[in-house]
Every structure is written in C-alpha cells, then in structure tokens.
Amino acid sequence: MTPIEKVIRKNDTNVNPIWIMRQAGRYLPEFREIRSKNNDFIKLCLNENLSSEITLQPLKRFNLDAAIIFSDILILPYGLGQKVKFEKNFGPKLDKLNLNEMVKVDEIDFIERVHRVYKAINKVSSNIILKEKNTIGFVGAPWTLLVYMINQQSPKKELKKDFFKDNFLINRILQIIEKFLKIHIKHQIDNGANIIQIFDSWAGLLNEKDLPNYIYTPTLNLVNYVKSLNIPVVCFPREIKNYKEFCEIVNPDVINIDYNVDPKEIVKNIKIPIQGGLDPKILLTDINNVKKETTRYLEIFKDHPYIFNLGHGVLPETNPEMVKNLVQTVKEYK
C-alpha cells in the first residue's frame, strides 16, 4: 500500500505523503525546453511520449508520492468536437459550442480523439520510478467544464451576461458532460490511474442556491461512479464557501482545500482525509518561510489523515529549489 493509500484507506496519520498540483509544468526548465518546441498545447497533451516524459520529470527531481498525468481538463470538450486552443498570456479559447454536432458524438469518436491520454497514463503507470507511488488521473468537474464550454474562455475575465439564459442547453450539455466524463475516467483507470481527482476550478462563482443543481448533484454522480470502480476519488471545489456541506453531500474519499480557507476550521469540521491548502505564493518567498508555513500545515493536520499539497497549482515563476525544500520539509517532519 502506498503512503497516499494508507492515508485514504486506513486514515493513517503516521505518514506524510506529498504531491503538488501542476508539479509537471512551467516552473521546470526541462518542461520549458519541451514546450518551446511544441506550440500547440492540446497536441502536446496528446503526444503520449512527451506527455508521459513531462509527467515523470518532477519525480526524477523530487521525492514525491504520486505522478499526475500531464493533460488538461479541456481535453473533454476537445474530445466532444469543440475546438480548444491556448493563447499566450490569455489562456484557453474555445469555439462556439454546436449542440447539434455534439449530440452526434459517440464513445468511439471520443476515444479516437483522446486515446493518447490513456496511452500516456499506461506508459507512466508502468514506469519503475512509480513503484510504491500513485498515478493520478483527473477530470474537470461538470460545472467547471460547463463554464468553459459555454463561456468559451476563462471566467476570470467574466461570465457571459446571458450564461444561464438557455436552461435546456445547460441541462443537455451537463448530461453529455457527465456521460463522457465517466467514459474518460474509466479509460484512465483501465490504463493505470489508481486515484482520480475532480477539479472544480470555478466552484466559487456560484450562489448557494445554485450549488445543488450545478455542483452537488453532478459531482456526486461522478464520485459514486469512481467509488463503484473501487478507486479513491479526490474533490477540489476551489473557493467553495462551505467545504463542510460539500463533504457531507458529495462525500469524496479526500477533499482538497484551497489557500483561502482557515485550515484550523477545516480540521475541526471535516471528518474525511484532507489534501492541500498551502498558498503557492509561499514558494516565491524564502527557504525559512517555506519551512515555517509547511510545518504549520503539518502541525494543524498531524492528528488527521492528510496529504500534503498546495491550495492551487505551483506558479510558473517558482524556483525548483523551493519545491525541493518543501518536499524535504514534509518528508523530514515527525
């Protein structure tokens, strides 16, 4: 049993596993070198040789307890025939959604478009470097994918004024998203992913009254599906106001918290294993501060099953030496 599985399945508080969101990415010079020769981000995710190499890069440097496959949540709309491109200093741009075309997509079409992600997972999970470690597959949560697919870009800029106007469209797309997320999850697991994380990056955008329709019910359906395959499932409903309620309703195996919540409140209110929390900006400070803040989280969660992680992805300007110090601090903590 891996250290992460001990935390999840045995509620073991004597191990301190660590992995980091976006651990395979822009802060690593070896990743930047590959990226400089591969302009199309989606194509890079669908190159099983390069994406598996990128996935393993951080594990060659740091004593991490899991690899998370180098891919993107927007592989799902891409697989459904919606064009996705990433623009420098802007982020993702999606073509207008064509529901008439999307409803014609079947499982074979979808797999044909995205199967290289599964090939990459297969390559990663069978690599000797992952002995005694986990391979994490992931998906975007239905709400977050809906946001991108209708909004056609990150809602950081803004959510379209008429986003909610077409109830039929929204419900139809949510059904399609759920169906193909299950297919996407199943193929990741069949190829060696032994943990699934569900990223709800835009959970914080919704009012409380809208949570049951857009977050609780669709995410619960996915969580139950992953559990039915006997694989642990982690949820990250970023910036949701009430983590306690989310855990009680959706009941994932692990909850990943963001850096805006008070970890002391979380540990008091949540019974299930917890992951994450540290502000990625801490890694832009100095070694002493990284050690101090990391230890603070480890102290708060020392009697609670806990997987160390950040409260969001590692920032591109992070010095890899800081990540090395972070991992070392976690590993040496008693």
pLDDT tens digits, residue range 36-89?
Answer: 999 999 999 999 999 999 999 999 999 999 999 999 999 999 999 999 999 887
pTM of the predicted model over 0.85: yes
Q: Is 257 in contact with 274 (CB distance < 8 Å)?
A: yes
Instruction: Return the pLDDT at 334.
Output: 86
Q: Is 25 in contact with 31 (CB distance < 8 Å)?
A: yes
Domain range list for the chain: 19-280
Instruction: Return the pLDDT at 88.
Output: 83
Q: Is 21 in contact with 308 (CB distance < 8 Å)?
A: no
Distance CA(155)–CA(133), nearest Å, equals 35
Distance CA(14)–CA(7), nearest Å, equals 9
**Partners of 18 in the beta sheet?**
308
Distance CA(255)–CA(165), nearest Å, equals 32
Q: Please count the CA atoms within 13 angstroms of the CA of 288 that sit on its side-chain side.
A: 0
Residue 135, SS3? Answer: strand
Residue type, 86: F
Taking residues 3-18, report their average pLDDT. Answer: 97
* Burial group, residue 209, by CB count within 10 angstroms (0-12, 13-18, 19+): exposed
pLDDT 10s digits, 219-273: 999 999 999 999 999 999 999 999 999 999 999 999 999 999 999 999 999 999 9
- Does residue 192 surpass a pLDDT of 80? yes
- Does residue 157 surpass a pLDDT of 70? no
* Burial group, residue 275, by CB count within 10 angstroms (0-12, 13-18, 19+): buried
CATH 3.30.365.10 fits 19-280, yes or no: no
Distance CA(329)–CA(294), nearest Å, equals 7
In the chain, pLDDT over 70 holds for what percent of residues? 99
Alpha-helical (H) ranges within 152-286 are 167-190, 211, 217-228, 243-250, 263-269
Range of lowest pLDDT (9-13, 90-94, 190-194, 241-245)? 90-94
Q: Which two tokens stand for residue 214?
A: 């857009």
